[in-house]
Structure 1
Amino acid sequence: MRRRTVAKAGGWAAQAPLLLDVAASWELRLRADGKADGTVRSYVDSVRVLSHYLAEHDMPVDVEGVQARHVGAFLAASAAATSAGNAHKHFRNLRVFFAWLVADGERVAASPMAGVERPVVARGRTRTRALDDAELTALLAVCSGDTFECRRDTAIVRILIDNGMRLSWLAGLRYSRDDAEANDVWPAEHRLRVPLKDDDVLLAPIGHKAAAAVDRYVRARARHPHAGSPWLWLPIRAGTAAGEHRLTSTGIQQMLERRGREAGVRGRLHPHRFRETMADDYLRAGGDPLNLMRIVGWKSVEMARQRARTAERSAGERARAEHARLSPGDRRD
């Protein structure tokens, strides 16, 4: 890919690096500043998603060539595909990123963010769109297969469908065949262990199909060149910038987006959509809201109550639709 040549301090010229080239340095800087893991993932994800959008739309992908109109187009597309809140998050993250590029001398021009309009987020919470049955079926179909990658992706998707697990929890799962203290995965017992804050632990249940998918992946994992890694999810090829052999939160998100496109899923596929879908399905099937709270790890009872109210509205809508179909009065002249 062609890069721009820019004049640097000292009078010499150099090619402007690509956005993805500096992402690893950006991550190192954030960690050196003591940013939390979730914050680091969010910042780096915004850079990665921006770079992919620019490349797909034949726009500049080097740090010097990106202009306000390019970022603006990306944010508009993000708001349309996901939500204004998600676009606003990218806006905040990219503003910090480009300020760092300028301050560190990687970008000669001023930050393009000065000319980018801040996305407007409407008041009140807009629910993430859940996945429908056809999308879930298509997603499992594109992940099916006997390769290591297919087994891994199927196991991840099955856990998300069945448990709605948070991305950071999913990526942080460890695996050890010999050390129970270093192992978070028990397919035979249909549960996963998620370490929480203050030494708390969530024992997340999974169903038969999810457990079978995890077991099938673990058997393939044993033949992986880096099977000795302490992390459950392994990449196909390279490891992380820190030299770890694991599939990070960013790697899982990339996989989901790719599989989502292959399956024809509407909008950007991300773990929270599975969480929404799982909660809706569980309550529609008659599940107890408080038990759902324990399964997914909610700390607030109010969240369970909100879900119960949503489920009740959905049940009312189904009841009215059923009455319209089976109305005793309409069946009599």
Structure 2
Amino acid sequence: MKQRLLPALFILSLALFQSCKKDRDETPKEKETVGMYVLFEGSWGQNNSGIAWYDLRTGQSDANYFKTVNGRNLGESAQDLKLYGNKMYCVVSGTQGEKKSFLEVIDPLTGKSIKQIPFFDANSEYMPRSIAFAGGKAYVSGFDGYISRVDTASLTIDSRLSAGRFLEGITISNGKLYAANSDYNYSGDETTVSVVDIASFKKLYELEVGSNPTKMATSENGDVYVVLAGTTANAPAFKRIDSKTDKVTASYNYFVGSMAVSGTRVLLNVNPYSTPEIKPFDITSGALGSNFITDGIKVDIPYSISINSLNGDVVIGDSKSYSSASGEALCFSSEGKLKFKFTTAATNPNHTVFIYGNKQ
């Protein structure tokens, strides 16, 4: 392990979790971003997913921090990484037929694994894809068509709901789960989003949205956005759902590869396979703005976008090429100017988790 990273993490642990030593009358300290974890998916079939770490206080990074700390690779085809409470949750999809599907629960202070929750049974894998949280529960969509509910206290799957087919992106709004029924075979048959009531954990209905829904996100006003990847016969699109009425209220002819939503701010990677650009999306007018990157920095293959809710920084994951030996994470200011970049140990960096502490 790179010993030089340890002091920063120790300081971080004090900043985040030893508030009991503070004087009750002390003025709360201003927060700052002290580090970031970047999940990289790796190449298909190579079992080389992992998590990189960048320490903003020292400027040091570890391209494969999860392996450094835990002595093993994260797994095959890791898809999602999110922070909830005092734990990070990583969705590792695995490979069909090999029973390598897990939900990896991680201590964000150290990067160490707390528990691997198996996402398979005696018959098959659940092939988990995306995760969302509400009321002390984690909800994980799966290609097997089920949503698995995980109790975040006991770290066990406490219920599974048959909700659709080839479930991909999942998001939460107004007490409901929205899960995309993706078109795994690009046949044109899958065109809906499944809606689930969280309180009863029962499926309500399916909403018709269009061909091959994949990614989903919720803005601050409760609107749900869905990326339609399309098929060979159906063009891609981007749509808005009113979560109060569960009606599609707007449709845009945008070809979106990835997106990030933070509050009312939405960034889209448009035309991902031809002339990719990261552009802001106006949630009121639906119009796209100019290229987010304002300093001329070139991103070869923008694979992911993440927005830091504390300071507006944006991390773009650059795949370089889908089969390259490594990827790159580039951190831009909210004005679109590059602040720093660092390498991930394998390609396809797909999610960033920001870690905060007290400003020194």
Q: Per the shorter chain, which TM-score range?
A: under 0.3
Q: Calculate the TM-score normalised by the size of structure 2.
A: 0.23
Q: Calculate the TM-score normalised by the size of structure 1.
A: 0.24
From the two aligned structures, give the one with the greater helix fraction. 1
> Larger radius of gyration, structure 1 or 2?
1
